[in-house]
Structure 1
Amino acid sequence: MTAPAARVTTALDGDVWRISLDAADTGNPVDRVMAGQLAEALDRRPAEARVVLLLSTGRDFCVGADLRGLAAGEDLPASVRALSAAWHQVVRSVLHCPVPVVAGVRGSVAGAGIGLLGACDLVVCGRSTKLHPAYGSLGLSPDGGTSWALTRALGAPRALELLLTDGVLHAADAHTFGLVARLVDDETLVEEVTALARSIAAGPVRAMVRTRGLVRRAAIRTLDEQLEDEERLLVESAADPEGREGVAAALAGRRPDFRGAR
């Protein structure tokens, strides 16, 4: 049997693991092949890669699920279940990635693509970007963590308004509401998000991952619980070579070398 065409490409750029959705001619739609290749790309991250950079080729980042592929099967619920399960594996892999994950997006981001962005640590967005959940027009409820990402960023009333009216969220509003971290010109997106990824790769990435966990858990815990976790992770960071290097560099008045802190 002929192997499916590559829908995801990878490259190691110094200590940045670059993963690109690469089915530009069809808008990078989500199907089980795409999901499998993306999960594999995340799993194959080289040990020396300190940051994952998620990009796409073509005009659009991701147009959502491959509807033609889903409709081609005889059992639509079974096809939807299989695709959703495969995509959720990808989202969990991003969410629990042992290094920071940065994404650069432009064009259309629809359906499950929004959930993928919600799992990333930092999202840099081109000004042309439009986020369209699109589930309502299909008579479906959200998946891929889309409802989670939108509710955390927009709050329940705005998330419901967007989802129930089948609305579109423009880049500027996504930035204002906090769904994306930075807004840049489309023409400079790749350059700027790559520079950001390289900057993060030079930092204390293990401390960053601990920080990520604290921020994500903060909304569902009491202050006392958060204080306990902060203390535990701060001690863990202080015992890490990163922490020792950071303190030593501050005392010596020099720039820390976190890449060498192993």
Structure 2
Amino acid sequence: MQLKDASFRRHILVQCLIFFDYLKAPGKSDKEGPSESMKEEIKSCEERVKNLLEMIPPKGKEFLQSIEHILEREKNWVWWKRDGCPAFEKQPFEKKSGQAGARKRKPRWRLGNKELAQLWKWAELNPDALTDSDRVRMPSVTEYWKPLAEDMDTSAGIEEEYHHKNNRVYCWKGLRFQARQDLEGFSRFCDYGIEGVVPPELLPPDVRAKFNSKPSEKAKRPKREDARGTSAHPKEPQ
């Protein structure tokens, strides 16, 4: 009945593995160790025991791996006992004096870099810097759109690829300023695009005339009007 108990069988087989490890343990000299024939016999018996352990449910393979890991760590203790139980304490290393002319390390900045450290120093010396009204100021739309107005002047000769209208961040910020300060000017964006938002007083007369008249509905939606025209006039039969 006891042999049918998986725990009992495992207990006996694990004891066999421990005994085999004891037989394979090296002695203080080569003569004290097992002979070659004995090593082969131990190896064959050990393989049979491991196969039996692997077959015992539940999780026989995982159980065998755990036992092998424990026995492998046990070898360190066996070697330590064989060497006469030497102390684990190690003598401290002697600090060597730095070589003459060695390059000194740069001081480390706790806040990441020198600029951030300087920023903190300025804040301590001038605590009212963050509350100064002139520190953060929203520009007027006239002041903000001046660079774009200069680009639109044909006499300036600025190439198309260098125009400010190609800068998405510049246009996005300008539209936000325009929506806060001048809704009427902001509404011209739907008709003329970003150039139509520029205040007329900044534009030269020839460019200003281009944005004075509101585009007709037909000009804004040519495809839809053309589609309606073709559907309203069917083709005449030949």
TM-score range, shorter chain: under 0.3
Larger relative strand fraction: 1
Q: Given the two structures, how large is their TM-score scaled by the length of structure 1?
A: 0.19
Q: Given the two structures, how large is their TM-score scaled by the length of structure 2?
A: 0.21
Larger relative helix fraction: 2
Based on CA coordinates, which of the two structures has the bigger radius of gyration? 2
By relative contact order (CA 8 Å, sep 6+), the higher-ranking structure is: 1
